[in-house]
A and B are shown apart, each in its own frame.
Chain A
Amino acid sequence: EADIYQTPRYLVIGTGKKITLECSQTMGHDKMYWYQQDPGMELHLIHYSYGVNSTEKGDLSSESTVSRIRTEHFPLTLESARPSHTSQYLCASSGPIMGNTEAFFGQGTRLTVV
């Protein structure tokens, strides 16, 4: 069973506000990811981390930033939210543990910027 948690599940916020989406995992995974997905559309990788203090931008340019100070925690921050940031944000993590590199997803945060 995957133990990866995202909060909040739903967020409606005004334009210009700063927001942080939380993601935590208790599986000891070294790699963590943030994906952005609009309804009915494909997943887009926006950030990933392969360990503490190591982060990379993904394929889709994003105005968000991430940090990885602890293995289990990978928050995503938007300094000034805009309506174009309205989307679903999915966090995932993967091992390897025992040779497995399977990635597991959190339940997602659905962000609406008004």
Chain B
Amino acid sequence: QKEVEQNSGPLSVPEGAIASLNCTYSDRGSQSFFWYRQYSGKSPELIMSIYSNGDKEDGRFTAQLNKASQYVSLLIRDSQPSDSATYLCAVNKDSGGSNYKLTFGKGTLLTVNP
């Protein structure tokens, strides 16, 4: 089982719709959870971080975390064509010193159609 799993997509939504991106992780000791956006040929850009169960909203983005289910999601409201990119889920476990790992999923390709 991969440590961080995402559907590779592509996920296609019409402009103005809600895009829902999902991620599961295997290590119950994971503490921090991140969503990155990566445009083709560019480096990943952090868009959301979440550390505790529940929802966290930032503009059109909402991250949701459920540690019991080992599940984290990202909702993008009022999707725009400029949101078309690959979205990477990342999970962090920090037990100090060398016992630290930031692990990425393979990413989900999102296409927003005008």
Q: Is B87 an interface residue (CB 8 A)?
A: no
Tell me the residues in window 32-91 of chain B with beta carbons closer than 8 Å to chain A beta carbons.
32, 34, 40-46, 49, 88, 90
Cα of A41 to Cα of B65 in the assembled complex, Å: 26
How many cross-chain pairs have Cβ atoms below 8 Å apart between A and B? 54
> Which residues of B are found within 8 Å of A50, using beta-carbon distances?
97-98, 100
SS class, residues of chain B in contact with chain A:
strand
Contact of A103 with B43 in the complex, beta carbons under 8 Å: no
Contact of B49 with A100 in the complex, beta carbons under 8 Å: yes
Tell me the residues in window 59-114 of chain A with beta carbons closer than 8 Å to chain B beta carbons.
90, 92, 94, 96, 100-108
Closest B residue by C-beta to A55: B98
Q: Residues of B with Cβ closer than 8 Å to A? A: 31-32, 34, 40-46, 49, 88, 90, 92, 94, 97-98, 100-107
